[in-house]
Amino acid sequence: MITVAGEALIDLFVDPEGHIDPRFGGGPFNVARAVARLGLPSAFLGRLSGDRFGRLLRADLDRHGVLAAIEAAADEPTTLAVVDVDPAGVPGYRFYLAGTSAAAVEPAQAIVPPGTTALHLGSLGLVMEPVAASLERLVATLPAGVTVMLDPNCRPGAITDRQAYLGRLDRILRRVDMIKTSTEDLAYLFPGRGTRDAAGQLLGKGPACVIVTDGAAAVRAFTADSEIRADVPPAKIADTVGAGDAFGGAFLAWWTGNGLGRPELSDPETVRGATQAAIYASVVTCTRRGAEPPWADELAAHDGWKWLPPGQLHGDRANQAGRLQGSPGQRHRPFG
């Protein structure tokens, strides 16, 4: 099972005419749904409000077959983000965080469900309190066999103490196996440094692999001995909301679905395969509005997704696609 820790929120899209379109959002919430749509068991470790928005978020997790790792609803209202998308489809965010549900994860609640083989975390879950301290403690106490992916997804406007934030990242990075980041993240974390230099700094803090996205430019993945590049195919862009979340979820799903762990991150061709698979998922997400990651059958035509994971597709899409072939007890390498 892949457990995804962090925030769920409502994205309020505002068009030039002032129309408001609410959508499910929050990077970790999007990642949990992306993993589930690709057919792997998924859990969301975050706090949902008992208000109407919170109930809708919980119902969407249920439709996808995502386990809600924290059952108790929060008294606080659902966290909100106002999203302004520019003509190129790139979103800008204004967050409403104080006193909201996403922050309300106490240390005793930050526990991965049994059967967790990988943990994904990051975004606002590393900024708000007490959830940030709770997730830091969780990472420090994880069993050695759990693969950890970090996506900082830096939101400078939400970070009130940069030094404290950087200190927390440094402590968490000691236990991280792979980090998915972007050129925008690196510009905030390492001002004035080039991508290769910044990736080297991150590798020195603990991860075995640093994957860097750069919009429509090639994705670059760095290990101690290699730099891998993978091109992003052209696509008609609706917006880029959730594209990075789909990328991270697909990379980790491909990796764990193929039974891989930290040792294989030293193999450039294996990293390339995961990167290309993640690009496919990200590009599909960009062709539709909002954070709507692809389903497994939508990616089946791509070379990197010839096999689908054993198990069962969850949610509404399952009625169309049916059950995937394969026994859950078999050890498949489904994507490569």
Asked if 44 contacts 8 with a C-beta cutoff of 8 angstroms, the reply is yes
Q: Is the pLDDT of residue 103 over 70?
A: yes
- The residue-averaged pLDDT of 280-309 equals 79
Rounded to whole angstroms, how far apart are CA atoms 96 and 116? 31
Mean pLDDT of 227-244: 91
Instruction: Tell me what pLDDT residue 323 has.
Output: 26
Higher pLDDT, 107 or 336: 107
| List of residues 6+ apart from 38 with CB closer than 8 A | 249, 250, 253, 257, 281, 294, 295, 296, 299, 309
Instruction: Tell me the pLDDT tens digit for each residue of 118-148.
Output: 999 999 999 999 999 999 999 999 999 999 9
Query: Is the confidence at residue 332, as pLDDT, over 60?
Result: no
Report whether pLDDT(328) > 70.
Answer: no
CA 276, CA 274: separation in Å to the nearest integer? Answer: 6
Q: How far apart are CA 108 and CA 134, in angstroms?
A: 8
Match domain 2-304 to its CATH number in 3.40.50.2300, 3.40.1190.20, 2.40.50.140, 3.50.50.60.
Answer: 3.40.1190.20
Q: By three-state DSSP, how is residue 156 classified?
A: helix
Q: Where are the domains of the chain?
A: 2-304
Supply the pTM of this predicted model: 0.88
pLDDT on residue 88: 67
Q: How confident is the model at residue 166 (pLDDT cuts 50, 70, 90)?
A: very high
Crossing angle of helices 27-37 and 52-64, in 10° steps, is 30
With vertex at residue 267, the alpha carbon angle to CA 265 and CA 272, rounded to the nearest 5 degrees, is 85
Q: In which band, very low, low, confident or very high, does the pLDDT at 241 lie, cut at 50, 70 and 90?
A: confident
